[in-house]
Structures are given as structure tokens and as C-alpha cells.
Amino acid sequence: MNLLIGNIGHLSVIVAFAAALVAAYSYFQATRGRALGDDDTNWLRIARGAFFVHGAAVLTIIGCLFNIIQAHRYEYYYAWSHSSNHLPVEYMISCFWEGQEGSFLLWIFWHVVLGFFIIRFNRKWEAPVMAIFSGVQLFLVSMILGIVLGDVKIGSSPFILLRDFMTDLPVFKMNPDFVPKDGTGLNALLQNYWMVIHPPTLFLGFALTLVPFAFAIAGLWKRELTAWVKPALPWTLIGGGVLGVGVVMGAYWAYETLNFGGYWNWDPVENAVYIPWLVLVASLHGMVLWQKRRTGLRTSFALVVATFVLILYATFLTRSGVLGNASVHSFTDLGLSGQLFIYMAVFSVLAIALLVYRWKEIPISEKELTLYNPELWVFVGATVLCLGAFQVLFTTSIPVYNSFMGLLGVKTNVALPADQIAHYSKAQLWMGVGVALLSGIAQIMWWQRNDKTTLVNSLTAPTLLTLLGTALVVLLVRYNGLTISPAYVVLTLAGLFGVLANFGTIFTLLRRGVRLSGGAVAHLGIALMLLGVLASAGYSNIISRNVSGLLYSREFDESLNRDNVLLWRNETTTMQNYDLTYTGQFFDVPGVPGYVDKQFLFRTDDDYKALARSPIVAGGKTYYKTGDTVAIMPENTYYRINYKDRKTGDQFALYPRAQVNDEMGEGGLLASPAIKKFWGHDIYSHVSSVLDPRKDKQWSEEKDHVLAVGDTIFLNDYFAVFRAIEPAHETAGLNLQKGDLALQADMIVHGEKRQYHVHPVFVVRNRLVGRVPDEVDDLGVRLSLTNIDPTAGKFTFAVSTTQKDYVILKAMEKPFINLLWSGTLLMAFGFGLSVWQRGRKSSVADATEAASAAAPAHAGRPQPVS
């Protein structure tokens, strides 16, 4: 029992809360009634000090919580419910943010880091911007405050003790100092390296949306209606890149870990991040339009505010429990809905009210945009993004409508669309078309003077190539015996145009400086991502489809798809172009590359330890000798599936995984796929159902066979020879002592693939007879040596058989999915280039700022887009 660390942690939470309050108030006072940059130095000093104290307190909270997890202090609920003794160190980090409190902390932490950057680099804007930052921190810290005032519980503390959380448990009545020996463990699905890096990326993206929001509100507040865009723009850029990468990381995690057969499931939790990202990217375009061409300021204001409000809404959606049945992976409801709602309402109402109040004062461009202005197309593109976001938002909010009507006393029963993928795709597809086409056109036009001739000249080549390429794609698709719908043709056309037009732009810009091409590179990445999504999702091919025509059910007339096959162990099944064989169950042994066959391991009473039955060799190196104790990870069983390409004869093995997960209830097994990557496609397989690895096998009644050495018998249809009887040696787990008599039989069983030595053991110790049976998992046979008649030279074997092992497998082919991932990398790289370009410019920009602000939109040489 270590109460000190929790008390330090909880105290730090209270300090962080109080300091945020002081900082918010002091920053407010420092700038109240004064012009931007002309702050009251006394208040400013207090405010800055308070924010530093806040930052230090936040770091202390994180340190305390991490110590509780890392030192396995199970007297704390957080450690007990999110961690366990056997958890590898790297996943202790994931434990930290598995719970709501930890993820709030992560978010708070990034705000602190960003706040320090602003204090250091944006002195002029510090007071109003940091007043908003501190206000946000105040609300966020309140979520983990864990204080009860009267009947109202404010926040949920991560430092709550197990005994205070589960007060009803009888053990605490007997012994208040009871500490469990082990925790309940991290959700097995989160034991993945992406879960170490994805949440911090996502929350950094979330935190980054606060920066442009705070600048915009500061601009409205201080009547600096135009100047805020410049310091805020790099942050928006970084935010767009980070959040975009974060979203795709989540998608990649889902692809690798979950078994719904893809990377995106339109789950409300995924949507809750996707929506603000789309609007954030739209707002980025608005800000670039203002910064470079002096138009679209109102749009920028509206979209920057909308992005942050949507982040707040996403927080409310995923953490308040309002989604209920609609999501499989929203956070546990901590009863914070009221607090979350207040947080969302306060900032939304204040921001929108301030925006409406100043709306008329926000300058607009006098110039009417024509079709020859790239600004128009950028603007249309931003609108398309917002409409796409709107569709997802409107549908994802369906559970909210029910709750809202419930509050009004009306019972409604609207549910999310039954086929969500079809519902979202039909709008998102057209958004993709719009984005790809507009990004191509706008990028070309942005960098040149536009009239009819120049436009025709620059658009002809990409258009012709696009038409040619699309025709080729359609022909190739048809040639492969697949169909392509008109909508897919249009998306291919748009995607190819986006790729070619942006590629052309990059090529032209190379002469003018690579750094300028950030926007074109990012857009090229997006266009590639669209093509990758189209190919991999639109043409995902189920290899394991049952085409045998043998159906068990007679209830339906029409033939319905059967997407899973049963594979018997060591029997080869042909599916489309592949011969598939399931060849056994494997464990992951830390330190040994690859996987280790369960048949080489003898399980002991300790779940996490096994004895090697034969040398464990990988890549020519012996890792364990026979009889060594091997540390294993017993939750995960890997099912080895051999794939053999029937045309080329190439072979590879995949190891899809089933994970014992008691959190999902008893008997919970979670399947995760295994993926084989080729340059042009992925082969994706997961088990859909397996014989439960934890349940004891059901053995048939034993049958006795009396044999002499050299006799042959049939065991479960396999031919077997009783070769010899020999002294037992190195037998796993027997602990032979002096004076014991131990004999083992050597029986060779001829399986389909190979021969197996079976060694049932017969022990006499202190005149008591013991028998250790031996099994062949591959064949489902168990042998024990039950009796020895030395005079007649006869040996009695008891033979029993079990259900032969099988897996039910689903296998898919995902064509060109690498376009999606490489497109994402390009997009991130493009964002990076743009940030670099801005950073370079801003160091010389102060001198030229006045000039560029005064210049009309089309003066001189066109300027970089982002």
C-alpha cells in the first residue's frame, strides 16, 4: 500500500486546476481593455507564473500515474483495471491512456507543451491566446479532478483506490488494506505497437486545433480581425498533417488488429475524428486564401471555430456514453456527461456569439470571383470537404437525436443505417471525386496567370492522359473478369486527374524551388489515397468464399454468400488460386524470432512458463534446449496457415491470431488477422472460429490394445508401429528421483505429412504406478502405457482420440492497398514541406509583411499556396 504517490498525484491535479484558474483570470486581466501586445505586465507575470505551475503540476500527475502503473500498484483502481504483471514494458505506456482519465491527461499535456511554445514564440498574442488556453485547461483538468461537492461529483480521478471504487466488495470489509496480486490487464486489442504511438499523435492533433481557434477568438476579441491568420496558419498546417496521419494510423491499427476485414468501419469513434479533420483541412484552405489572396476571411473564421466545436462535440460523443449500443469502442462512461456537455456548450456558445457579434466587421473581398480565379476553386473544394463532413456528422449523430428526444420525453427509435458502409460511401465517393478534381485544377491555376489560352494549354495534357489512363483501367478491370460501376469510373477518372495534375505542378515547381511544392505533394498523396481506397475497398476479393454449392441450410432459396471455410489440420483445401493448409497452433515466445509450435512445448501449472520438449531452433540458432523452461505469452495462439499459389508454386505462411480475452466475457476469443504484403496487393486472413484453446479437450473413451515390440496398429486412422521400450529420459515435468523406475514406449505414428514419435511414460515410485500419457495434437491421438507384463513381453496401451483440430478461416485479397499507405506518407511529407516553407518565410516575413498585406491579390508573381 503506497498512499503517498496517489496523494501527491491528486494534490497535483488540484494544483493544476487552481493554477489554470489563476492563469486564465490573470491573462484575461492582463489584456482586458488594452490593445494587442500592450499587456499589463504585472498581471502578465502572475499569469505566466501560474501557467508554469500548471505545467509542472501536470507533469507531476503524469509521473505519479505512470509510476502507479509501472510499479504494479494494484491498490489503485487505474493500475488494477488497465495493467497486469505480465504486461510487456512497452504496453505500460498504452495502459496509461487506455482509460478516459489517462487520455484526458495526454490531451492536457499537449496543451501545456503548445502553450509553452506560444509563450515563447508569440509574445504579442500571448495574453489573449493563453487566456483561452488556460480556460480550456481548466475544463479539461476538471474532468480528472475527482472531487465531490455536496451531491455533485466533479471529474473522475485516476488516483482513486480500488477499495474506494468497489466499496461493496466483502474483502475490503474484512481487510481494508487488501491489495490484489495482479491486475486485470490491458485490453488485448490494445497490445499493439500502434496503440503506443497512435493516441499521442491523435491527441496532439486534437490539441493543435486549439491553437488556430484561440488565435481566431483572440482576433475577434482584440478586434485584430486580419492579423491572427499569419501566426495561426503554421499551427493549422501542422494540425492538419498530424491529425490526418493520426486518423490513418488508427485505420492501420484496425486493419492489423480488428477482424472486420478492413481499415475503416465508419464506427462513430472513427467518425468523431474524421469529421473535425475534414473541417480543419477546409479551414486551412480558407486561411491560405486570406493569407495569400486576401479573400475568404469570414470562411476562415467560421471554419476554424467549427473545427474546434466539432472537436468538443467528438469528445462529448465518445466519452459521455451517449453512443451506447452504436459503437463498439467508445470509452467507458464515467458519468461525466454533464461536465462534458457544459465544456462543449460554454466554448461553443461563447465562440459563436463572439463571431456573430463581430461578423459585420470582418473584411470581405470586393472582387467578384470568376471561373478563371483559382481562389474560386479552392473555395469550392473547401465547401466540398465541409459537405462531406456534414454527411458523416448528421448520420453519426443519430444516437444523439434519440437521447435528445428522450430528454424531451418523446421516445424515438431511429437507428444508424443497417448498411453503414453503403450509406457513407455513396456520399464520400463524390466528395472524393470533388476533392481530386478540384485539387488538380486549383493547383495548376494557382501558379499561373489564367485566361482561356493558358488554361487550355495547361489542362490538355493531364486531361488527355487521364482519359487514356481511365480507359486502360476499365479495360484491365474487365479483362480480369470484374465489373466497374459508372461511379467507380468517375472516381478513377478524378483520382487519376488529381495524380497527374498535381504531379505536373510539382514538376513545374521544381524549377522554382522544391519547398513551394508542399501543397501539390500533399494533394498528390490525397489523390493516391483515394485510388488506394477505391481499389482495396471496392475490389476486396474474398478468397475463402464457399463455391462448393454444398449448403447446410435450406431456409433460403437464393444463394447467399458464405465467406468462411473450415480447414482441417494438415488437410489441404483449394480456394481460388491458392492451396491452403492449416498446419498447427503456435505460441509467441519472447526472444525467439517467429513462432514456436505448441507441440514442442509442455505446459506447466504456471500459464506463462512451458518446458521445451525438443530443441527450439530458429534460423539455425538454438534458443532453448530440450527440458529448458521457456517463457511464453499464453493469451495468444497463432494458427499457421500455409498458402501455396497454384500457378507459380510460391508458398508463404500466415499466422492469424486468436486472443483469450476475459474482458469480453467468459469464452471471449478475439481474432486478429495476419497480412502478407505484396507490392500490388495484400492477402489478409483471420480465423473466424476455432476450438477454444483453453477448454480441455473432450477425449473419447480409452480403448486398450495389448502389443508386443514391433507390432503395428491403427490409431485414429493412422498407421503406427510400436518400436521399442526404453528408459524414460529428460521427460518434461516428471522430476525423476533416485529409485524411481521410469519406462517409456516409442511409438511411431505415420501422419499425413510426417512421422511422430509418441512417448507415453510408465513410472513406478514407492510401489505406486504413475502414467504420463502423450499426445499428438496434429492427429488428435492420446496414448498411455497402462500396463506392463514383463514375463510375456506384452504392453497394454490405452488409446483415445479427440475432435480433430480445425480452424474456420476468412481470407481476402486487398488490391493496391499500398497506394493508400504511400499516399498517406506523401500527404504527410507535403504538409511537412509546407510547414518548412512557412517557417523559412516567417523569419524574413516581418519586414515584408506590410508590403504583402497591402498588395492586391494578383500583384506580381503568384505566391505559394501553403
Partner 1 sequence: MKKSHLFVMAIIAVAAAIILSTTADASVYVGFGEARQRAAEGNTTKVHVVGKLPRDGQKRPIGLEYDPMKDASYFSFTLIDTLQVAQRVVYLEPKPQDFDASEQVVITGQMKGDVFLADKILLKCPSKYVKKDLDGATAAN
Between 11 and 179, CB nearer to partner 1: 179
| Residues 622, 599: Cα–Cα separation, whole Å | 17
- DSSP-based three-state secondary structure for 717: coil
Residue for grid cell 489572396: 293
Considering the rule CB under 8 A, would residue 360 count as an interface residue with partner 1? no
Member of 60, 67, 70, 184 binding partner 1 (CB under 8 A): 184
Stretch that binds partner 1, among 194-202, 667-675, 767-775, 792-800 (CB under 8 A): 667-675
Residue 712 CB, shortest distance to partner 1, in Å, is 29
Considering the rule CB under 8 A, would residue 708 count as an interface residue with partner 1? no
> How many chain residues touch partner 1 (CB under 8 A)?
69
Considering the rule CB under 8 A, would residue 175 count as an interface residue with partner 1? yes
Residue 514 CB, shortest distance to partner 1, in Å, is 35
Helix or strand (DSSP H, E) at 575: strand 572-575
**Ramachandran class of 294: left when φ > 0, alpha when ψ lies in -120 to 50, beta otherwise:** left
Site for partner 1 in 540-599 (CB under 8 A): 546, 550-553, 555-556, 560-566
| Residues 316, 711: Cα–Cα separation, whole Å | 73
Considering the rule CB under 8 A, would residue 387 count as an interface residue with partner 1? yes
| Residues 591, 571: Cα–Cα separation, whole Å | 31
Residue 692 CB, shortest distance to partner 1, in Å, is 8
Between 278 and 630, CB nearer to partner 1: 278
Which letter does DSSP use for residue 664 in this model? G
Member of 40, 333, 579, 711 binding partner 1 (CB under 8 A): 333
Between 159 and 379, CB nearer to partner 1: 379
| Residues 42, 100: Cα–Cα separation, whole Å | 37
Residue 550 CB, shortest distance to partner 1, in Å, is 8
Residue 553 CB, shortest distance to partner 1, in Å, is 5
Between 20 and 807, CB nearer to partner 1: 807
Stretch that binds partner 1, among 388-396, 532-540, 758-766, 854-862 (CB under 8 A): 388-396
Member of 71, 342, 345, 415 binding partner 1 (CB under 8 A): 415
Stretch that binds partner 1, among 137-145, 341-349, 528-536, 661-669 (CB under 8 A): 661-669
Which letter does DSSP use for residue 613 in this model? S
Task: Please list the residues that pair with 744 across neighbouring strands.
Answer: 726, 761
Member of 150, 170, 409, 860 binding partner 1 (CB under 8 A): 170
Helix or strand (DSSP H, E) at 162: helix 162-165
| Residues 226, 583: Cα–Cα separation, whole Å | 67
| Residues 491, 434: Cα–Cα separation, whole Å | 9
Contact at 8 Å (CB) between 6 and 161? yes
| Residues 341, 339: Cα–Cα separation, whole Å | 5
Site for partner 1 in 797-816 (CB under 8 A): 806, 808
Stretch that binds partner 1, among 658-666, 774-782, 836-844, 852-860 (CB under 8 A): 658-666
Considering the rule CB under 8 A, would residue 406 count as an interface residue with partner 1? no
- Among 774, 784, 756, 759, residue whose Cα is nearest residue 570: 756
Helix or strand (DSSP H, E) at 205: helix 194-221
Member of 252, 390, 602, 829 binding partner 1 (CB under 8 A): 390
Considering the rule CB under 8 A, would residue 426 count as an interface residue with partner 1? yes
Count of C-beta atoms within a 10 Å radius of residue 634: 17
Member of 167, 325, 480, 648 binding partner 1 (CB under 8 A): 325
Which letter does DSSP use for residue 125 in this model? G
Between 81 and 824, CB nearer to partner 1: 81
Between 118 and 376, CB nearer to partner 1: 376
Considering the rule CB under 8 A, would residue 394 count as an interface residue with partner 1? yes
- Among 640, 636, 668, residue whose Cα is nearest residue 654: 640
Between 262 and 525, CB nearer to partner 1: 262
| Residues 787, 592: Cα–Cα separation, whole Å | 40
Tell me how far CA of residue 189 lies from CA of 249, 253, 433, 636, 664, in angstroms.
15, 9, 34, 11, 11
Member of 671, 779, 785, 812 binding partner 1 (CB under 8 A): 671
| Residues 602, 617: Cα–Cα separation, whole Å | 16
Considering the rule CB under 8 A, would residue 418 count as an interface residue with partner 1? yes
Q: Which residues contact 314 (CB under 8 A, 6 or more apart)?
A: 272, 273, 275, 276
Considering the rule CB under 8 A, would residue 667 count as an interface residue with partner 1? yes
Question: Which positions touch partner 1 (CB under 8 A)?
Answer: 81, 162, 166, 169-171, 174-175, 178-181, 184, 325, 328, 332-333, 368-369, 380, 383, 387, 390-391, 394-395, 398, 413-419, 422-423, 426-427, 546, 550-553, 555-556, 560-566, 658, 661-671, 688-689, 692, 806, 808
